């Protein structure tokens, strides 16, 4: 569909502008009037920019940052006293992501049609998580929607910060691994073969490291297609296995058992789990409902299964701390803190304290992991390059002895 750029004024007289995909100018005009805008101009985009926009919009999704910013904007506007629909219309006019804008317009139409905000959001589960919808529903019931939106945005920002810290900690080691593999492969495939003819013509006896390296180099150059085919085949089978419930469960279970990486994964999961659980229970959502929401948000299958069993046990009368202890996946410290919260009647506050505690622990784990991995990878890279250099230099020294004779 063609893209139309518009200029208009909202109900407050503030100038707004943007771009909309539509079948024609009449459809754009109707949509803007539905939002209460006074139209100044509507022009169809033409030229190369149209194709570039369509291409970028086709592959561009809706990021978590955009959803968090939306919650923050909506909460701020409602806290300032703006009605829900007016707040939405103001946000729609400022949203540049066409896909997200379409969803927001659909939500506005659903609200005008008599649905609540939580019901309208529930129709878009890929955009608005179960946690987001549950918090909005609780806010609607208690008449504190703006407070719930503030909590959602605060939790969202904490989640983004958590992901950023883990990502930044892993980027350098991963990059170093790929650079090491690239350098070693280049030396074996492109550099070493140039010395082979010289070594063979000299008739000198080649040392063991050189023979090993020549064998590896020859295998890589002659059977690279077979290596790629086997790698692709194994990758396909692995992906197929990971799509099964048993496969992804085993994968997540083995990740938790890995040294360092397993500890990091555990702390990330526990931090997220108790942060969301604390936000839900503090908002008045019953524990059983909160556990169901958390189960749908946590990605590690080991914890998903554990939470399912915990929910069943709690429903049967077992305390949350006892059910967590039986599951065997939660750290003893977390279980002890939950037990303390149950005894003192401050479970929601204790959930947030557990999240804060493991969030700090996560920082220590990230620093420890990076401080260990970086020198280890550098030493490994230096060892491989040194072995290759030694394998090349040893026969050269032998050649010098042959020429002297």
CATH number assigned to the domain comprising residue 327: 1.20.81.30
* pLDDT grade for 271, boundaries at 50, 70 and 90: very high
Q: Are 214 and 196 in contact (CB under 8 A)?
A: yes
pLDDT digits (tens, 9 = 90+) for 131-154: 999 999 988 888 888 889 998 998
Average pLDDT over residues 98-110: 89
Asked if residue 384 and residue 236 are part of one domain, the reply reads: yes
pLDDT surpassing 70 at residue 174: yes
Residue 219 counted as domain residue: yes
Burial 107-146 (b: 16+ CB within 10 A, else e): bbebbeeeebbbbbbbeeeebbbbbbbbbbbbbbeeebbb
**Strand 38-44 to 15-21 pairing:** unpaired
Burial 328-350 (b: 16+ CB within 10 A, else e): ebbbeebbebbbebeeeeebbeb
At how many degrees (to 10) do helices 145-186 and 261-282 cross? 170
pLDDT of residue 81: 87
Task: State how far the alpha carbon of 316 is from the alpha carbons of 174, 310, 311, 319, 334, in Å.
Answer: 46, 10, 9, 9, 22
- Beta bridge partners, 7, equal 17, 41
pLDDT digits (tens, 9 = 90+) for 187-201: 777 777 777 666 666
Residue 364 counted as domain residue: yes
pLDDT of residue 301: 93
Which range among 23-32, 165-174, 260-269, 316-325 has the greatest average pLDDT? Answer: 316-325
Structural domain span for residue 12: 1-59
Residue 213 counted as domain residue: yes
Residue 222 CB contacts under 8 Å (≥ 6 apart), including other chains: none
Six token digits for residue 398: 């032998």
pLDDT of residue 253: 93
Average model confidence (pLDDT) across the chain: 84
Beta-carbon-side half-sphere exposure of residue 252 (alpha carbons within 13 Å): 20
Residue 134 counted as domain residue: no
Asked if residue 55 and residue 176 are part of one domain, the reply reads: no
Asked if residue 177 and residue 44 are part of one domain, the reply reads: no
Residue 393 counted as domain residue: yes
Average pLDDT over residues 101-120: 91
- Beta bridge partners, 3, equal 21
Asked if residue 310 and residue 192 are part of one domain, the reply reads: yes
- The CATH number of the domain holding residue 23 is 3.10.20
């Amino acid at each position: 569909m063609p893209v139309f750029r518009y200029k208009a004024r909202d109900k407050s007289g503030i100038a707004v502008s943007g771009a909309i995909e539509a079948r024609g100018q009449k459809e754009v005009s109707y949509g803007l009037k539905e939002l209460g805008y006074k139209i100044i101009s509507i022009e169809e985009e033409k030229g190369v920019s149209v194709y570039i926009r369509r291409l970028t919009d086709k592959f561009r999704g809706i990021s978590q940052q955009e959803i968090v910013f939306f919650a923050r904007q909506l909460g701020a506007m409602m806290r300032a006293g703006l009605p829900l629909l007016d707040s939405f219309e103001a946000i729609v006019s400022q949203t540049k992501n066409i896909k997200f804008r379409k969803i927001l317009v659909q939500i506005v139409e659903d609200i005008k049609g008599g649905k609540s905000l939580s019901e309208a959001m529930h129709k878009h589960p890929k955009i608005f998580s179960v946690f987001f919808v549950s918090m909005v529903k609780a806010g609607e019931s208690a008449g504190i929607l703006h407070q719930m939106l503030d909590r959602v945005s605060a939790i969202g920002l904490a989640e983004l910060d958590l992901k950023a810290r883990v990502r930044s900690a892993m980027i350098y080691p991963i990059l170093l691994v790929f650079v090491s593999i690239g350098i070693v492969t280049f030396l074996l495939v492109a550099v070493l073969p140039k010395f082979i003819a010289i070594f063979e013509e000299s008739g000198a006896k080649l040392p063991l490291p050189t023979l090993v390296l020549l064998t590896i180099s020859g295998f890589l150059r002659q059977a690279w297609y077979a290596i790629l085919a086997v790698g692709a085949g194994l990758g396909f089978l692995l992906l197929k296995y990971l799509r099964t419930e048993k496969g992804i469960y085993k994968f997540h279970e083995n990740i938790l058992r890995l040294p360092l990486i397993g500890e990091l994964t555990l702390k990330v999961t526990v931090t997220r789990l108790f942060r969301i659980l604390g936000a839900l229970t503090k908002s008045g959502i019953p524990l059983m409902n909160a556990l169901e929401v958390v189960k749908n948000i946590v990605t590690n299958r080991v914890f998903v299964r554990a939470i399912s069993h915990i929910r069943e046990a709690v429903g049967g009368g077992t305390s949350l701390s006892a059910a967590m202890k039986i599951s065997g996946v939660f750290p003893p410290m977390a279980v002890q803190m939950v037990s303390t919260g149950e005894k003192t009647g401050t479970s929601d506050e204790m959930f947030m304290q557990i999240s804060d505690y493991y969030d700090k622990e996560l920082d220590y784990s990230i620093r420890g992991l990076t401080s260990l991995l970086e020198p280890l990878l550098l030493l490994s890279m230096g060892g491989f390059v040194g072995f290759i250099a030694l394998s090349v230099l040893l026969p050269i020294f032998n050649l010098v002895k042959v020429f002297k004779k």
